[in-house]
Structure 1
Amino acid sequence: MSTSEETKATHRSTKDKDQLITRLKRIEGQVRGIQNMIENDRYCVDILTQISAINAAMNKVGLHLLEKHTQHCVSDAIKDGDADEAIRELMEVFERFSKS
């Protein structure tokens, strides 16, 4: 991560933060559930189903963050005359996100 990325901040509402934290805690619980399933020798297909659910939930969190980033950070940068940089960064984010 470059220095400029480390110092950038976002302005999320308390409600948005709370919703994201709740989703991530739910996902954390699902991961612990998979650990228990493995410890208890559960059927592989059941474990894989849970892994698929976690991946879908993480993608949903990622898409939410991407949408908010585009609506606020990218939009603000374009309004401030930094369109080229904002679009470059957004494309890099899309590339990273699509690899997951």
Structure 2
Amino acid sequence: MDCCMNEDKKRALQALKTSKGQIDGIIKMIQDGRYCIDISNQIIAAQAVLKRANLMILRQHLDNCVKDAFLNNKGEEKVDEIMSLLKKLLD
């Protein structure tokens, strides 16, 4: 398991912090009784940031963990992990 903080993880962390700020703002919008469409647009924006963060993390996983597993003839387990994740994304 890779514990280092590479550039993909740094960017993902920043994206997650941005998303956290967006979610806090969305909560305030709801509490303030803001217009539903405006709230929904902000939720969509937060979801987009979360998707980008997830892609960065997955990129890091493929570039490091999966590549290393294949180099050490242990790739089948990583393929199963990725397939399981893809199933969740597609459901």
What is the TM-score normalised by the length of structure 2? 0.86
CA RMSD of aligned residues (A): 1.6
Tell me the percent identity: 32
Pairing 1:20-31 to 2, within 5 Å after superposition: 20-31=12-23
User: Which one of the candidate residues 21, 30, 33 is aligned to 1:41?
Assistant: 33
User: Which one of the candidate residues 63, 67, 74 is aligned to 1:71?
Assistant: 63
The one-letter amino acid paired with 2:19 is I
| SS of equivalent residue, structure 2 residue 78 | helix
The one-letter amino acid paired with 2:46 is I
CA distance in structure 2 between the partners assigned to 1:17 and 1:63 by the alignment:
10
Query: Does the 8 Å CA contact 2:11/2:53 hold for their aligned counterparts?
Result: no
What is the TM-score normalised by the length of structure 1? 0.79
Counterpart for residue 74 of structure 2: 82
| SS of equivalent residue, structure 1 residue 84 | helix
- Please identify, of 12-21 and 46-55, the stretch whose mean Cα deviation from structure 2 is larger: 12-21
Task: Extract unaligned runs of 5+ from structure 1.
Answer: 1-8
Alignment deviations for residues 41-85 of structure 1 (CA, whole Å, 9 cap, x no partner): 100000000000011100000011111111111111011001221
* Structure 1 runs of 4+ with >6 Å offset: none
The one-letter amino acid paired with 1:22 is Q
- Please identify, of 15-24 and 30-39, the stretch whose mean Cα deviation from structure 2 is larger: 15-24
